[in-house]
Structure 1
Amino acid sequence: MSEIAAADVLASLPARIHQVIDHHVTATPDRPALIEDGASLNYRELDRAVKATADALAALGIRAGDRLMIVSENCIALACLLFAAFRLDAWAIVANPRLSPRELDQIRDHSGARRAYFTAGVSKEAAIHASRYGANVQNVGPLHNIAVSALNQGTAPEPVEADPAKQVAVLIYTSGTTGTPKGVMLTHRNLLFSAATTAWFRRMDAHDKVYVVLPISHIVGISLLIMTLMTGGTVQLVSKYDPAALARAITEEGVTILNGVPATYQRLLEYKRVAGLPKLDRGALRLIAVAGAPLDLDLKSRVEQELGLPLLNGYGITECSPGISGVRFDVPRDDHAVGTLLPGIEARIVGLKGAPVSKGQVGELHVRGPNVMCGYYRAPELTAKAIDAEGWFNTGDLARFEGDCLFIVGRTKEMIIRSGFNVYPAEIEAVLSTHDAVVQCAVVGRAVEGNEEVVAFVQLLQGSNTRPEDLMAHIAPQLTSYKRPSEIIVLDALPATSTGKILKHKLAETLRAG
């Protein structure tokens, strides 16, 4: 596979994300652009829908530089709202409707969102949030059953930048290691560059039909949407994962590319076994990729045997839009490697004291390139800690290189990756600590096949009759499902140093031993 120069990629990019469809609107107007259950838009229709939605948003008081919150599962309406926001130079914040009220309110308050839009007709969770916000269900241009919150009169728009490397397109919120929200500011150039290099890497073109079940509220979902429309292909939008529906889409609906987390493939194989199918028919599928969590080699082998395709491992991070590296489909691997760097991405491995490590040694991975975020919103100190004066971003992950191939060997952060979602222990600990009976607690990850689980250790007030199920009932309304512990273990005392610092590695060892 010949290389492509980053300079050539950058020169080919439009100034704004919504412009990626312009060529296809003229060249292939009748080709399907977006498909969901029972509905579709071709490129001509998508272009008209985005323009009409942008006009409707402007009429509802959305200005360039405003933060616009979209609470939605994957659907056509979400894609239209997102591209309309790009057209207006507003900053889009796509929020998963499965977030708890507390989590959603934190994002709204921190971002200073001008309005929130809920796809109430698609998701009952979005409708519940809409009701809580007092949002009125109405049509937004061509989009039906969109609940629109009241206008935030007190928020000011951010300055608009003509330079696509400076104009923010999306704010993606992560909880951060502190348990408080961090808004990752990704520019139009960040997202366009990452999408274009990944599309090149995968040899994507207008004949591809990409199954997008990973949430567009997260970085991989939004990148898949952009890269597929950029290449003139078709995006099949799926709101919630159902392995039976995925198997049917692969067999009967012409899906050519599937991206997932390890659990996506694990559940697909489980469905095949439970359904008593002799073998999964791979149909037109030509590429299967995985990222977002450590990949179990046994799972990788079983998936490859079943579908007759290499399962391509990759590595990325929200702050890098997300692509950093990937295994190439023309050079598959049978190990844990996350492949070679994408074009235009530089990497270095740094020791604990900041000095470069020798070749092949493990250290902290720092990366640099046009994909690196412009910073964390309203958090200059956090930004300065993450990105140095020369533009190197500290991923916080431990890695090593074998030749030009990257291996991720651990995380310097405590972050748990559950089904592709980032889970930060500090946030769960903060919620657990609000229970009157909890003296102290600690949350760690536990490896399970193809995934990680969240496990909480809790020390209770002496004499308390509180049970793990009581604690679970207390935290469940405050945390989205993937953040809730799989298990809460009550201990008489948590292991700690003489200064009282909890020894989480001891707890993790207990889980491994048990």
Structure 2
Amino acid sequence: MTDLLTALLATCDERGDAPALRSGALRLTYRELGGRIRATAGGLRAAGLEPGDRVLFSVRPEPAGVVLALGIVAAGGTVVFADPGAGPELFAARLALTGPRWAAAESLLYAASAFRATRWAARRRGLLLPAFDRLPVRHVYAGRWLPGVPRGAHAAGRLAAGPTMSTVDDAPDREALIVFTSGTTAAPRAVVHTRGSLGAGLSVLAGRCALGPADVVHTDQLMLGLPALVAGALWTMPPYGLAASAEPVRYASGLRGVTHTFCVPADFAAVLDAIAAGRVPAPTGLRSVMLGGAPVPPPLLRRATALLPGVELLTVYGMTEIVPVAAATAEEKLAHDGPGDLAGTALPGVRVRTAPDGELLVRGPNLCRGYLGEPPLAEHATGDLARLDGDRIVLVGRKKDMIIRGRVNIYPGLYEPAIARLDGVAQAVLVGLPTGLAGDEKVVLAIVPDGPAEPVVATVRAALPALIDAGALPDEIVAVAAVPVTGRTAKPDREALRRMLERQCASR
């Protein structure tokens, strides 16, 4: 099994003075990148970090953060991605579960959480910051020193400039990354990846999207950035460390000379808006756009195909526990006119099957070790309902999103893609609203119209009987300006949509 760290460092040694990382004015060659990773690892070891130590990590996706994270893993530590906005109770529960001995955060985060005034300023913006400066751990800060950084904290920049660790062991079975996923304050859940499972993920992706030294990858996502580095390509990162939707013109301008990029659908839509409005020219030389992290609606693919002719649009299906699982091109997804959403063909090395209730089960060399504190995983139950069409995976819904109307179980994912393919529909989401009868729900179809609402609603209402099963026909069709989203990948927030629709119904 490939060890992510030793594979990357071998590329650094081989590529030498070739460009590796670029962000704004910062340029790192492979020699410099490998040197900084080894120096960070050596500095952490000298400061007392021991193999197996876990490090709470709250540093934005930028070159310094990449070097620090890889240096932690090279030193034998585990990066524990920590969301500082999770709220004090959930943060405390996650802290108790992982038992970190170190914390690595930006100096701005330490400053913002250390003082009452800055905590209140963050709270007014909806961010309930834990007191990072008072965590009973050793500290590393990224960026320039600011008041609030704990006394004795180590500067990440100084670690990267010190003596290097002479050797990095090849240890594919060593714990490397912990990412929190579904779970509650009472029972948080954390996915554990090893250096080997992460390395295997790169190999699986390479089976569908081969990268090489001549390629240039533009993204702030590790999913594509790390494979680019292992392949010897140039990874360019947005200098502002924010999602593309925050500054779409700036992000699109960064695509000049780029061959590959990765975006979540909501961010990519903002980039397409900038190109369509003429605020930035369509990128030349771009060969592939990878989309993942959330469902990719057909209108987005049609629009991208028109604005970026000749560019391969590749949708990637996966989850925290195992990524990637499957991939499909825009042409394959748009040609799929049956029920459900085509996730694509399982990638090399990944094995899939369905349980008796239709839930998709997946396994492969890129499967995580398991959940922290639980037995190792041999197979992952995705929570997605699917059917296997030959070697292709077609998603038909989420187990938890099932709507019950009378004696009929309705899986929204089975029908939403077909509805979204109708002219004038930008997005379609089916939800169930309580009727007051035990175990029964009213089915409401929320659509985001691409134009005047009334004629689009009328067109959808007329088309539905021939498009979806009679048992799934909605009781009501409602046009909304936008569907609420959740998380960095901007997935539809069905619970928030339910609340919004309930308020609309109550106000009538």
**Change in 2 beyond 3 A, CA 1:74/1:448:** farther
CA distance in 2, matches of 1:61, 1:445: 57
CA distance in 2, matches of 1:334, 1:224: 26
1:153-212, CA deviations, whole angstroms, 9 ceiling, x for partnerless residues? Answer: xxxxxxxxx884532110011133787421101111111011122023112111222222
1:425-454, CA deviations, whole angstroms, 9 ceiling, x for partnerless residues? Answer: xxxxxxxxxxxxxxxxxxx99977699625
**Residue type of the alignment partner of 1:343:** P
CA distance in 2, matches of 1:407, 1:481: 21
In the TM superposition, residue 32 of structure 1 has moved relative to its aligned partner by 1.9
SS at match of 2:400: coil
Question: Any conservation in 1 of the 2:36–2:67 contact (CA below 8 Å)?
Answer: yes
In the TM superposition, residue 394 of structure 1 has moved relative to its aligned partner by 1.1
**Change in 2 beyond 3 A, CA 1:230/1:349:** same
Q: How does 1:45-444 map to 2 (within 5 A)?
A: 45-120=32-107, 124-125=108-109, 127-129=111-113, 132-134=131-133, 145=145, 147=149, 164=171, 166-176=173-183, 180-213=187-220, 221-238=221-238, 239-241=241-243, 242-250=247-255, 252=256, 254-273=257-276, 276-277=277-278, 280-308=281-309, 309-320=311-322, 322-327=323-328, 334-335=335-336, 336-352=341-357, 363-380=358-375, 387=377, 391-414=378-401
Question: Any conservation in 1 of the 2:359–2:385 contact (CA below 8 Å)?
Answer: yes
**Change in 2 beyond 3 A, CA 1:163/1:350:** farther
CA distance in 1, matches of 2:324, 2:489: 26
**Change in 2 beyond 3 A, CA 1:244/1:98:** farther
In the TM superposition, residue 326 of structure 1 has moved relative to its aligned partner by 0.6
In the TM superposition, residue 134 of structure 1 has moved relative to its aligned partner by 1.9
CA distance in 2, matches of 1:190, 1:23: 18
CA distance in 2, matches of 1:195, 1:277: 36
In the TM superposition, residue 45 of structure 1 has moved relative to its aligned partner by 0.6
| Matched residues, number | 393
1:45-104, CA deviations, whole angstroms, 9 ceiling, x for partnerless residues? Answer: 111111111122123321100111111110112111111112122111123455444444
Partner of 2:25: 38
Structure 1's unaligned 5+ residue stretches are 1-9, 152-161, 214-220, 353-362, 418-443, 456-478, 490-503
**Change in 2 beyond 3 A, CA 1:99/1:130:** farther
Partner of 1:25: 12
Question: Any conservation in 2 of the 1:71–1:94 contact (CA below 8 Å)?
Answer: yes
Structure 2 length normalisation: TM-score? 0.67
In the TM superposition, residue 22 of structure 1 has moved relative to its aligned partner by 2.9
CA distance in 1, matches of 2:143, 2:286: 32
Higher RCO (C-alpha 8 Å, min separation 6)? 1
Question: Any conservation in 1 of the 2:287–2:312 contact (CA below 8 Å)?
Answer: no
SS at match of 1:65: coil
**Change in 2 beyond 3 A, CA 1:75/1:402:** same
**Residue type of the alignment partner of 1:206:** P
Partner of 1:453: 484
Q: Which has the larger radius of gyration?
A: 2
In the TM superposition, residue 127 of structure 1 has moved relative to its aligned partner by 4.4
Question: Any conservation in 2 of the 1:17–1:83 contact (CA below 8 Å)?
Answer: no
CA distance in 2, matches of 1:229, 1:78: 15
- What CA RMSD, in Å, does the superposition of the two structures yield over aligned residues? 4.1
In the TM superposition, residue 408 of structure 1 has moved relative to its aligned partner by 1.5
Kindly, what percent of the aligned residue pairs are identical?
A: 27
**Change in 2 beyond 3 A, CA 1:511/1:149:** farther
**Residue type of the alignment partner of 2:50:** R
